[in-house]
Structure 1
């Protein structure tokens, strides 16, 4: 996103917080285990309204939040006294090797170039530092997917069509995708974005207990 470009989530923070954060479980499935115990500042890249700040603190780390939406950061401030920054995820205002831990949360479908975001996250990691990415499962969550009430998914052939999708006839009328669209990454593109960073991949997870996974998570380490 270029400087001056309006953030897609601006104007949605209160609705988003009520819909996805208030009253939710303290920790997203498997996230605390992926992080593991640690210390020092943890960069929450794409922190939104602060959904994962409690998890960062529970792991022994302190919160540093970044988001492109000042509206989201307004709500995030109610959940931390730590530093929060308004910045483009592909051009972050931190020096090289500033963090032992970087979390990249739910933004693979919201940015123009996910690979560039991962390269920025890698730049910020100290040797031995950990990156945890957690977000949309490319196979089972996207403009090619119809969600059925029984938990099954119907996959359409447009799975292989990457890029921004502004609408899909299967998206819920009151959902987030109707409001901001979605940049779809097929699974191979998603995984290659990690391989291109040079990080050592330690673990993949499909968090949650549903029969068809909603999300895909990765733990990687800078050599």
Structure 2
């Protein structure tokens, strides 16, 4: 998905799946309501090991998964019989207006150009189609953030630094940032990336979880004309 080499999950899929998918809730907080009922194929961009496939199916849609990591897709195949493919999230291998639904889940920190990912996701949507963005909260989660034991967060002034961040002492030794690296999209950049798609922004959500939100979700719709 047009990532720096350090951000690829090849060779880490089993570790990732064990830590973030196996034993987790079947539906991420607020995602079923944000997605709503639907039909037809739903493109899960950056699908990883298939964490959200059950949510897609429960909504009435069919899974189509794309990820930059063949290793991640190896495990995703155990969760769906639908089409899966290795591909670049910023250059999707689909024709214009191919899907009624697309999802961009937890990849803003894994790609070089998040705005380009959203632009191409909007391209493959049919008129009236919806795009779901769900992932790292730009303000309270990312390479500029320290998670404190009391549940509070410390935000460093590097918040204003977009793009890939160098490793920091607070990243820890066994977290995803240490293993994968992390790019940062400040809030203004994040919102402007959605506005630049030309989609209509319908709903924002800070999903339930810790007192300080770690995720931000967006539903946007492609105009009918």
TM-score range, shorter chain: over 0.9
* Cα displacement (A) at 1:166: 3.4
Q: What corresponds to 2:108 in structure 1?
A: 108
- Secondary structure in 2 aligned to 1:115? helix
Displacement, 1:74? 0.3
2:12 aligned with 1:12, yes or no?
yes
Quick one: distance in 2 between partners of 1:193 and 1:216? Answer: 14
C-alpha separation in 2, matches of 1:113 and 1:2: 8
1:201 aligns with 2:201: yes
String of CA shifts for 1:19-42, please: whole Å, max 9, x gaps.
000010010000011000000000
* Paired residues of 1:7 and 1:69 also in contact (CA < 8 A): no
Cα separation, 2, equivalents of 1:58 and 1:96: 26
Deviations 1:131-187 (A, max 9, x none): 000010010011211111111011111111111013121112101110111111110
1:78 aligns with 2:75: no
Structure 1: 4+ residue segments shifted above 3 A: none
Confirm or deny: 8 A CA contact 1:101 1:129 kept in the other structure: yes
Question: What is the aligned partner in structure 1 of residue 87 from structure 2?
Answer: 87
C-alpha contact (below 8 Å) 1:160/1:186 kept by paired residues: yes
Which is worse superposed, 47-56 or 205-214?
205-214
SS in 2 for 1:211: coil
Q: Measure how far apart 1:222 and its partner are.
A: 0.1
Q: Give the distance between the partners of 1:180 and 1:2, measured in 2 at CA.
A: 14
How many aligned positions are there?
222
TM-score (ref. length: structure 2): 0.96
- Aligned 8 A contact 2:199 2:221 in 1: yes
Determine which structure has greater relative contact order: mean sequence separation of CA pairs < 8 Å that are 6+ residues apart, divided by chain length.
Answer: 2
Confirm whether residue 69 of structure 1 aligns to residue 69 of structure 2.
Answer: yes
TM-score (norm 1): 0.97
Is the partner of 1:66 in helix, strand or coil?
strand
CA RMSD of aligned residues (A): 1.4
- How far is 1:209 from its partner? 3.1
What are the ranges of 5 or more consecutive residues in structure 2 without an aligned counterpart? none
1:170 aligns to what SS in structure 2? Answer: helix
Identify which range, 204-213 or 16-25, moves more after superposition. Answer: 204-213
Query: Is 2:39 the partner of 1:39?
Result: yes
